[in-house]
Every structure is written in C-alpha cells, then in structure tokens.
Structure 1
Amino acid sequence: MLAVDRVCIRYEQKQVIKDFSFQVADGEIVSIIGPNGSGKSTLLKSIARMHPYDKGQITLNNTNMKAMSSKEIAKKLCMLSQRNQAPNDITVENLVSYGRYPHKKWFERLNDDDMQIVHWALEKTHLSHYKDRPISALSGGESQRAWIAMALAQRPQILLLDEPTTYLDISHQHEVLQLVRELNQEMDMTVVMVLHDLNQAAAYSDKIVVIQEGCCKCIGNPKEVMTTCMIRDVYKMESEVEYVAWDQAPRIHLVSAVK
C-alpha cells in the first residue's frame, strides 16, 4: 500500500534522513521509533507531503505521491501532529465536520450524507454525547479522540499519527492507543505512527521501524526488533526483555545507561 524507497531528506544543508526504505502493507499498524532527533517526525511529515524530500520515492497504491494532487492525497491519507490547534469555541461536531472538506468542491456545503459520516466518526470514537461541547472543555484524551474523529471523517486509507500519546497521562495514552487498535481491527485501517514509549510500540504494532541518526537500523515485528542489543545500540541503555505466555508482545524493562 505505502512504500518509502531510498528516501533522503534535508533540513537546509543537513541531511536528516539517509537512503531510507520501508513498506507498509494494507491493514498494518507500523510504529516508527528511535531517539530524539533521529528523524522520526521528519520522515512522517515527508510521507504526508508536509516536508519535501531530496531523493528517492514515496508511493501510495503504486502511484508516486509527487504526481498526486493534494486533494487526492487528502482522500486517502490523513496526518495528525503532536499538537493540533483549533479555535477554543469550536464544537466537537464542527471540528469533525472539517474532515469532509477534502471530498467537497470549493464552497460546496456539507449535505446529509456528509453529516451521517460525521456522526458515524463521532460514534466510532465514543464522542457522540460530546458533540455540542467546545473542544476547550475536553480532557486531553477526549480532545485527541476528537481529532482522530476528524481524521476518520475523511475516510482515509492510511492514518498517520505523530506521537499521539505525548502530553497525555497514562490512562489517556492507553485510551488513545486502544482506539487506534479498535479502528485498525474493525475497519482494517492502516496506521503509521511515531512513538517514544518502547512498550507501547511493542504492544500495539504489527511492525516496528527503528531509526538511528536518520538511517534505518532495523525493521520487523516486535519480537524481532525489541532486543537488548537493539536497545543498547540505539538508545544506549541496558535492558531486560521479558516474554509472558499470555501476552504476544515483549515487555521492555530499562535498567541503566550504558557505561
């Protein structure tokens, strides 16, 4: 579905992503992990066409994304950043309705079909009873769900999430990631997200892509990627990786910095 092929990305004169390649299959949840400053968010922004890349190619359904219009991409792909801003007085329903505009002509109004999709997105994100509340009145987890609902209203094939759990407490982090998994399982929605927490990446991902200094360190399922050697090499931390019979995902316990 989505292929990143030998992509190189620069900020001014500095190359931040170097000859990077990976693929995302239809219906997968893929997490991109790596230390701060390794290029995770930059790579995601380039996939969303929010930042240009110098070399290589990114294709969506075998079509070079550079050849696609912004409107065409918006119908297939949606990205949510770490922090999303909206006027304080905008209601949840109004925010979610913005997800329909990629499907409308200039100045064309939303019709009954559009509003049915908006209400469906609110229901999927468990926000129907909050639809008339202003965004400013929501908790962090509720607000993040509202933005995800807006993305759902676009009916994208791929959802890109840049650190969706940042600034949230533990319970809201769990709430948002559970919602992501629910959307993936019930709607076969493909998800690519940047995560900091190694245990969250292990628990919620089909595939993990590890970035180190702009290069692809390794790619694989959580059991293949989450090793003490990878964590030592990439994060400079000694760790213990635990497996329990009733849980598919490995559990990572950070022990100490590498001496």
Structure 2
Amino acid sequence: MFAVDSVSIRYEQKNVITNFSFVVNQGEIVSIIGPNGSGKSTLLKAVSRSIPYYEGTVNFEGTNLKSLSSKQVARKMCMLSQKNQAPTDMTVIDLVSYGRYPHKKWFEKLNNDDMEIVLWALEKTHLTAYKDRTVSSLSGGESQRAWIAMALAQRPKVLFLDEPTTYLDISHQHEVLELIRELNRDMGMTIVMVLHDLNQAASYSDNIVVVQDGKKVMCGTPNEVMTADMIRKVYRMDAEIQFIPPEMKPRIHLLSTAR
C-alpha cells in the first residue's frame, strides 16, 4: 500500500531519522516501537506528511506522497496525535463532522450523505448515545474514541495513531485497542501506530518496526521481532518470552536491567 524508502528527517541540522525504509501492506496493523527519544513519533509524522522529510520518498499506492495536495492526502489518510484537544463547548457530533471537510469544497455545507457517514462513524465507535455531549465531558477512553470517530468520518484508507493508549488507564487502553482491531478486521482499514507497551504491540500487530536512535533495527512479525536478544539490545532489559496459545503470540516478561 505504501513504501517508505530511505527517508531521513533533520531538525536544526541534526538527523533524527536516518535512511529509514519499510513497507506497509493494505489491511495490516503495523506498530512502531522503540525507547523514548528514538524517533518513533517523528517517523510517523513524516510518513503521514504531518512534517517534512529532507531525503528519501514515501509512495502511497504507487504515487509519491509529496506530489499530492493536502486535500488529496486528507482523503486517503488521517493522523491522530498523542493528545488531541477540542473547544470546551464542542459536542461529539460536531467534532466527528469535521472529518467530512476534506471531501467538501470551500464553504460547502454538509449534506444528508455526509451526516449519514457521521452517524455511521458514531455507531462504529459506540458513541451514538454520546453524540450531544461535549467532548470535554468525556472520559479519556470515550474522548479517544470520539477522535477516532472523526477519523472514520474522513473515510481514510490508512489511520495513523501516535501512542493512542497514552494517558489512559488499563481498561480504556484495552477498549481503544479492541476498537482499532475491530476497524481493521471489519473494514480492512490499514493501521500504523506508535506504541510503548511491548505486549500490546505483540498482541495487536501484524508487523512491528523497531526504532533505535533514529535508525531501523528490524522489522517483522511479532514472533520474529519480540526476542530476548532484541529487548536486551534496544531496551537494555533482560526478558523472558512466552508464546500464548491459540495464536502463539509472544508474551514479554521484563526481568531486570541488562548488564
């Protein structure tokens, strides 16, 4: 679906991502992992064209992403940051409605077809009963679902999520990740997300990209990537890996700081 080829990103004449390449296939969930400050979020922002990169290419369905207009990009992909803020008086349905604007002309109003898509997005994210509440009144998990609903109303082919479980308690983390899995499974939506939790990445990903110091360490399935050796080298932690039936995906138990 899209290919990242030799991308480098620079801040103030310093490389933060160097010669980075990976491929995301249609319908995959791909997680980007790595230590704090390794460049995960920067890479995600560049791939989604939220920030520029100075070398390399990102091809989306065979087209260089830089050749597309901002509106064309917004019709194909959506990026949600770690923490999103809406005006205190904005209702959930108003927020979700903003997802339709990439498909409208300047000052063109939403029509019945647009509102059907908005209501569908609310239903898919289990927020129909909350549509008239203000976004500021929602819990952390509900608020995250509202932003995902806005992204769904945009009807993107790819959804980029920068640490979607940050600031959420355990139950709301599970709720959001299950929603992401449902959107991927039921709609075939391609998901690329940054995660901190290694077990969440192992459980919810088809493929995992490991970043360290702005460089790609490895890329592969959870079983290929989540090894004690990788965790020792990248995170400087000793770990024990179990494989949990029926899918036999790895479960990581961190033991102690590696020496």
Q: Give the TM-score, by structure 2 length.
A: 0.99
Superposition deviation, residue 245 in structure 1 = 2.6
1:27-52 deviation per Cα after TM superposition (whole angstroms, max 9, x unaligned): 00000000000000000110121211
Q: Which secondary structure state, in structure 2, belongs to the residue aligned with residue 83 of structure 1? A: coil
Structure 2 residue matching 1:20: 3-state secondary structure: strand
Residue 162 (str. 1) matches residue 123 (str. 2): no
The one-letter code sitting in structure 2 at the alignment partner of 1:171 is S
Structure 1 counterpart of 2:217: 217
Q: Which moved more, 1:243-252 or 1:52-61?
A: 243-252
Offset from partner CA, 1:162-209 (integer Å, 9 cap, x none): 000000000000000000000000000000000000000000000000
Counterpart of 1:200 in structure 2 is 200
Q: What's 2:93 paired with?
A: 93
- 1:218-250 deviations in Å (ceiling 9; x for gaps): 000000000000000000000000112324321
How far 1:54 moved relative to its partner?
Answer: 1.0
Which runs of structure 2 are paired with 1:26-45 in the superposition (5 Å)?
A: 26-45=26-45
Give the match for residue 107 of structure 2. 107
> Which 4+ stretches in 1 moved above 4 angstroms?
none
Could you tell me which residue of structure 1 aligns to residue 257 of structure 2? Answer: 257
1:196 alignment partner, SS class:
coil
Query: Does residue 136 of the first structure (1) align with residue 160 of the second (2)?
Result: no
Quick one: distance in 2 between partners of 1:159 and 1:245?
A: 29
Q: TM-score, normalised by structure 1?
A: 0.99
1:183 maps to 183
Paired letter, 1:186: D
Structure 1 residue aligned with 2:57? 57
User: Is 1:16 matched up with 2:11?
Assistant: no
Deviation for aligned residue 1:85: 0.8
* 2:152 match: 152
Counting aligned pairs with the same residue, the percent is 68
SS across alignment from 2:202:
helix
Deviation at 1:258, TM superposition (A): 1.1
Paired residues in the alignment total 259
Q: Secondary structure at the match of 2:244?
A: coil
**Aligned-partner Cα distance in 2 for 1:192–1:170:** 21
Aligned equivalents of 2:77 and 2:245: distance in 1? Answer: 37
Structure 1 CA distance, aligned partners of 2:50 and 2:156? 17
What SS does the corresponding residue of 1:250 show, helix, strand or coil?
Answer: strand
Which consecutive residues of structure 2, in runs of 5 or more, have no partner in the other structure? none
Structure 1: which amino acid aligns with 2:47? I
User: How big is the shift at 1:83?
Assistant: 0.5
